[in-house]
Amino acid sequence: MVAGLADAFGAPRPFVSDTLVSPCRHRVVERAEGREECIEGAGEWHPGIPGGWDGRDKRPLCLVYQAGCDRERATGCLGKWIGSALSEHELGTLSELVTPARRLYPAAMTDDLLELAVTASRAAGVLLRERFRAPRTGVDTKSSLTDMVTDADRAAEALIKEGIHSERPDDAILGEETGEARGSSGLRWVVDPLDGTTNFLFGIPHWAVSIACEDADGAFVGVVYDPLRDELFSATRGDGAMLNGSPIEVSDTADVSRALVGTGFSYLAEERAAAAALLPTILPRVRDVRRAGAASLDFAWVGAGRLDGFYESGLAPWDAAAGTLIVREAGGRIDVMPALGPNGTGFIAAGPRIFDDLRDLIDRALGQSTGESHGARIAR
């Protein structure tokens, strides 16, 4: 990368497409040799093939126009081959208008991985539906007396891992119940076999199976399956998000005071208390707050426009890997939710028209509940 670009974008990714593309939705075209990506309004196709697949990643990175951007303002910056120095003004313009591309894969590969995730989630769903109607067995605790695991969690995870390894023996798998099995392919599956175990144990019909496949850029295939409603939310990087095969989009609500917002609480008492302390600031300033008990479904419902936003701290990778991809591919925005305790950070998710206001409201609530400044929280 040209000197200065690392400062604008952070360190180079292990995998980089041939272009730096705008954060706006881009189109994907199917070619015989794989997928190619096009920025709306750019007027030129740019390959997005994994490094080494056919050598095209070795060409220099270039910049392309963002759809609808002010081209006069971008003159001398966008559309310029990276190979000559960019001025400080140009770097400022660039950081506003473009972001690094994420890898796109040959169509057959992503289709196969998505089919594998769908098949595994549905198989686990059949098992869990049967166990939901039967007496609970093998109930134990994990991080606290209220953090439960059952034989159903374990059986569903074993079924999913067996299905994935039978087709993809070289991939890594991170499961909530059994930890990580390392792989050599560069891909990792992130599995929550039963998100919403407490709901499951108490007979509340709101729980899901969550499966994502990640590369160095994060999740690029994600599935959240609700077996009781037979609703399958899915997304692949660059291809949008679906519910049972039909496209979904986030809410277009523009006023945070009219937003229906989801949240969740930790199993640790100190973190639950900290999350509760945010509500006196947030609750009077939104339409209402929902706490349903399955973060993967909360993300999926933001993607489908059923919730306008969602926030929760202390989320594990399996809680969010598939759901955050679904939100992004449905047109939503994601940011980090600060930690409220030892379980660490989480995520804020919302439609783009209320996202900034919701994030600011959460930040205000954090400040009022902790007495910390925004800068101090970021530093921590």
Closest by Cα among 280, 277, 312, 283 to 295: 312
Predicted pLDDT of residue 70? 39
Which tokens hold the place of 263? Answer: 């949240």
Which tokens hold the place of 379? Answer: 């530093």
DSSP one-letter code for 317: H
Q: Which sequence spans correspond to the domains of the chain?
A: 5-100, 107-248, 256-379
Predicted pLDDT of residue 138? 65
Residue 52 region by backbone torsions, left for phi larger than 0, else alpha for psi between -120 and 50, else beta: left
Query: What is d(CA 369, CA 366) in angstroms, rounded to the nearest whole number?
Result: 5
Predicted pLDDT of residue 27? 36
Predicted pLDDT of residue 181? 83
Predicted pLDDT of residue 192? 95
Assigned architecture for domain 256-379:
3-Layer(aba) Sandwich (3.40)
Query: Whole-model pTM above 0.85?
Result: no
Q: What's phi and psi for 27, nearest 5 deg?
A: -90, 155
Predicted pLDDT of residue 136? 66
Bridge partner residues of 27 (DSSP):
38
Per-position pLDDT tens, the chain of length 380: 223 322 332 332 222 222 333 233 333 444 444 444 433 333 333 333 233 223 333 323 333 333 333 333 333 333 332 333 445 554 444 444 444 445 666 677 888 999 999 999 999 999 999 989 876 666 666 555 554 468 888 899 999 999 999 999 999 999 987 778 889 999 999 999 999 999 999 999 999 999 999 998 899 999 999 999 999 999 999 899 999 999 999 999 999 999 999 999 998 999 999 999 999 999 999 999 999 999 999 999 999 999 999 999 999 999 999 999 999 999 999 999 999 999 999 999 999 999 999 999 999 999 988 776 555 555 55
Predicted pLDDT of residue 99? 41
pLDDT in tens, 259-272: 999 999 998 999 99
| CATH code 1.10.390.10 for 107-248 | no
The reply to whether 256-379 shares the fold of 107-248 is: no
